[in-house]
Amino acid sequence: MKKTSILIIYTGGTIGMVKDHKTGSLKPFNFNQIKKQVPELARFDYKLDTIEFNPVVDSSDANPGIWVKIANIVKDNYNNYDGFVVLHGTDTMAYSASALSFMLENLSKPVIFTGSQLPIGTIRTDGKENLITAVEIAAAKKDGLALVPEVCIFFENKLFRGNRTGKQNAEYFNAFSSDNYPTLAEAGININYNYGAIYYSPDDANLTVHTKLCTDIAILKIFPGIQKNVTEAVFGISGLKAVVMETFGAGNAPTAKWFLDCIKKAVKKGIIILNVTQCRAGSVDMSKYSTGIELLKSGVISGNDITTEAAVTKLMFLLGKYPDREDVLEGLRSSLCGEINL
Ligand code: ASP
């Protein structure tokens, strides 16, 4: 029987970093560092191959170009591997995993992002555990089919749907949370899969890789005391196509006339405004309070329970794919791969 094969895509991040002796800060290093520290990888009865970014990056430098690179590596190697593990920095991992979930349409193989809070060369590293379990999950099959054919993040002991996560902790090992969707698996003595929560693409659909992303967007986080000149400056950005507006609670914002006028003017200009809650959990419901209704009447679109990370990358994906505004709006109102509950 053919050995299960996994491709590890090493993009960078703390997991492979070493101390710069001059400055004392951490900088990305090559994959040999990781292989040397995790000899257990060789004990898997899988064919394990690696593709390493050159140069490897701190994920604070991630951008759509990096996502396209990952997507193309998956595309070019799709038929030769059973699953993929992406080693990535934690800072923007939730953005990258969200982006890839939209870019890899009809995925039928696992793409598991992981990394660590402590470099793999340190004694208390969380990287070893994360990498080993991510490989095991990427290789897991039932009746010959991948158990989790999704873009996921595995961290500490939990497997999350990538486009439902956010980085919640810069200190402890539980760096990620998925507050609006259950975990897909938990790793203890056994890896327990939450079968009912896993997303499966339609059976007969083939992988389609989308690499056209549009970055003409902005995020506007509302806060008490936000000024007219700030709001106008954001909506006045030349060439702007969409704004992810982070609002209060169930999607509420100030009702000052100048604010609503600004929103209406932007919508009239064709700017898409997607309403996302600042709360970690829960959903936008603009019909709940009069403050939300004003936004709804002004043409703001509900982001439902989407994360900011998924909202930003979904907009980049939809604006890149569709020239027609109505198609983008239709996409925003739909769940493309489990990023919102409807
Ligand atoms: N700055 C690092 C990065 O995102 C942090 C990490 O990997 O945890 O690449």
What CATH number should be reported for the domain holding residue 112?
3.40.50.1170
> 232 and 203 share a domain?
no
CA distance 335 to 326: 16
- Atom from ligand 1 closest to the CA of residue 60: 4
The residue type found at 132 is I
pLDDT digits (tens, 9 = 90+) for 51-70: 999 999 999 999 999 999 99
Q: Which residue among 180, 209, 238 closes a domain?
A: 209
Output the CA torsion 12→14→17→18 (10° steps). Answer: 170
Q: Nearest residue CA, atom 3 of ligand 1? A: 89
Residue 266 pLDDT > 90: yes
- Atom from ligand 1 closest to the CA of residue 92: 4
> 258 and 297 share a domain?
yes
> 202 and 222 share a domain?
no
Spacing, Cα 63 to ligand 1 middle (Å): 14
- Please tell me which residue, 267 or 20, carries the higher pLDDT value: 267
Q: Are 203 and 185 in contact (CB under 8 A)?
A: no
> 253 and 189 share a domain?
no
Mapped onto helix, strand or coil, the DSSP state of residue 90 is coil
> 84 and 198 share a domain?
yes
Q: Does 339 reside within a domain?
A: no
Strands (E), the chain: 5-12, 17-19, 26-28, 47-57, 83-87, 104-105, 111-114, 141-142, 145-146, 151-155, 158-161, 166-167, 176-177, 185-187, 191-193, 208-209, 217-221, 242-247, 272-277, 301-302
> 122 and 89 share a domain?
yes
Q: What is the mean pLDDT of the chain?
A: 95
Q: Which residue among 173, 193, 209 closes a domain?
A: 209
Q: What is the pLDDT of residue 274?
A: 98
Q: Does 297 reside within a domain?
A: yes
Q: What is the mean pLDDT of residues 167-185?
A: 96
Q: What is the DSSP letter of 3?
A: P
Ligand 1 pocket test: which of 17, 57, 91 has the largest number of ligand atoms within 8 Å of its C-beta?
A: 91
Q: Beta-carbon neighbour count of residue 331 at 10 Å?
A: 18
Spacing, Cα 19 to ligand 1 middle (Å): 13
- Atom from ligand 1 closest to the CA of residue 15: 7
> 178 and 230 share a domain?
no
Spacing, Cα 321 to ligand 1 middle (Å): 30
88: domain range? Answer: 5-209
Q: Which residue among 189, 209, 229 closes a domain?
A: 209
- Atom from ligand 1 closest to the CA of residue 117: 8
> 129 and 72 share a domain?
yes
Q: What is the mean pLDDT of residues 67-84?
A: 98
Q: What is the mean pLDDT of residues 107-114?
A: 98
Task: Give catalytic residues, as residue numbers.
Answer: 14
Q: How many structural domains comprise the chain?
A: 2
150 — pLDDT class (breaks 50, 70, 90): very high
Q: What is the pLDDT of residue 164?
A: 98
167 — pLDDT class (breaks 50, 70, 90): very high
> 176 and 228 share a domain?
no
Q: Does 146 reside within a domain?
A: yes
Q: What is the pLDDT of residue 66?
A: 98
Spacing, Cα 103 to ligand 1 middle (Å): 23
- Which CATH number goes with the domain that contains 245? 3.40.50.40
Output the CA torsion 87→91→92→94 (10° steps). Answer: 80
208 — pLDDT class (breaks 50, 70, 90): very high
Q: What is the pLDDT of residue 152?
A: 98
CA distance 323 to 253: 29
Q: Nearest residue CA, atom 8 of ligand 1? A: 90
Placement of tokens 């829960």 in the chain: 282
From residue 79, alpha-carbon distances to 6, 7, 31 in Å are 11, 11, 24
pLDDT digits (tens, 9 = 90+) for 273-295: 999 999 999 999 988 888 889 89
Q: Are 166 and 136 in contact (CB under 8 A)?
A: no
Q: What is the mean pLDDT of residues 120-138?
A: 95
In this structure, the residues whose C-beta lies within 6 A of any atom of ligand 1 are 12-14, 58-60, 89-91, 115, 117
Q: What is the pLDDT of residue 197?
A: 97
Q: Are 49 and 126 in contact (CB under 8 A)?
A: no
